[in-house]
Homo-oligomer: A and B are copies of this chain.
């Protein structure tokens, strides 16, 4: 038989109100002795209050939904970890959902989270999403957008990365090192991230008076396979390039691999620059020069922002945090 607050109350010879107050640290006006007595019984009986019952009346679940494309993509674990750490500090739990960049799955998950009365959602949306949600029930729950930008109702904050600046820094560095024919193996341009990186790339070329060549920019996905394919495409086009700027590290790593297979030495024949600085970036050969994104911090900040919104429901806020990248120079350039 599950033990309830009522049991504790009668066992202690007090009312449930008194027990409840003690449980919730609203015990300003509870006598020391009562407090002690009740606490003792609670411990004895190993009583655990039901959060479900509590949520029923407080309308809060202390649960945050984390909706991301795929935890298996090396970009996300750190982000998830950051969010979880902050949530945990503040007494929240994280419910995690993988959408595979699928719009239907996204909506399904959001619905689930609303049904389960998650207090809020941290959301990295699908690269296929071009508009807001069909489901209006969504608007009942605050959302923090992370990494990928967009505007629609319900968004109470954003944590983004300065992709333009990161890309600009990286490509400028390449240019300074006298690489002049820089191919850009991009991820999809449906996302602001890709778009901004492309802009940074163009801007850097311009500032160094290098002409932009459309042929050198090819667009694919943020996946390892795309790196292999992309090099094939570039080679088949018979293009001349002395450096490759990759949309992310996953692409960069497979590009390096492919290039080596083709007998190119890196960075002598071709320099390779990545984006992200994933866990493995300094373990490959040659160690990857890349633009580090603060993934852990992103997750952490997003949770912080969300909790802030949740615990100050009066203040209408919509903060936008833009985190900086860092150029990590290693051996591949």
A residues contacting B by CB (< 8 A) are: 2, 46, 48-53, 55-56, 61-63, 70-72, 74, 76-78, 80-81, 84-85, 88, 93-98, 111-112, 114-117, 135-137, 140, 224, 253-254, 257, 260, 279-280, 283-285
* Residues of the B chain whose Cβ atoms lie less than 8 Å from the Cβ of A49: 115
Q: Are A46 and B84 in contact (CB under 8 A)?
A: no
Contact A84 B96 (CB under 8 A): yes
In the complex, the answer to whether B78 meets A137 with C-beta atoms within 8 Å is no
**A115-B71 in contact given A280-B280, A283-B284, A284-B285 (Cβ < 8 Å):** no
* Copy count, this protein chain: 2
Cross-chain contact A115 with B51 (CB below 8 angstroms): yes
CB atoms of A94 and B93 under 8 A apart: no
- Indicate which residue in B46, B52, B88, B95 contacts A55 across the interface (CB closer than 8 Å): B52
- The answer to whether A116 and B52 have CB atoms under 8 Å apart is yes
Given A254-B283, A283-B257, A93 contacting B77 (CB threshold 8 A) = no
A47's nearest neighbour on chain B, judged by CB, is B137
- CB <8 Å contact, B98 and A81: yes
Shortest Cβ distance from residue A217 to the other chain B in the assembled complex, whole angstroms: 24
Residues of B within 8 A of A95 (CB): 63, 93-96
- Give chain B residues whose Cβ lies under 8 Å from the Cβ of A254: 283
Residues in chain B near residue A72, CB distance under 8 A: 77-78, 81, 279
Q: Which residue from chain B places its CB closest to the CB of A296 in the assembled complex?
A: B72
Tell whether A93 pairs with B116 under 8 Å between CB atoms, given A84-B98, A260-B285, A284-B285. Answer: yes
Residue of B nearest to A82 (CB): B72
List 23 A-B pairs, Cβ < 8 Å. Answer: A46-B137, A48-B114, A49-B115, A50-B115, A51-B117, A52-B61, A52-B117, A61-B116, A62-B116, A63-B116, A71-B81, A72-B77, A74-B74, A74-B279, A77-B77, A80-B96, A93-B112, A94-B95, A94-B96, A254-B283, A280-B283, A283-B284, A285-B285
Q: Which of B61, B135, B283 contacts A253 (CB 8 A)?
A: B283
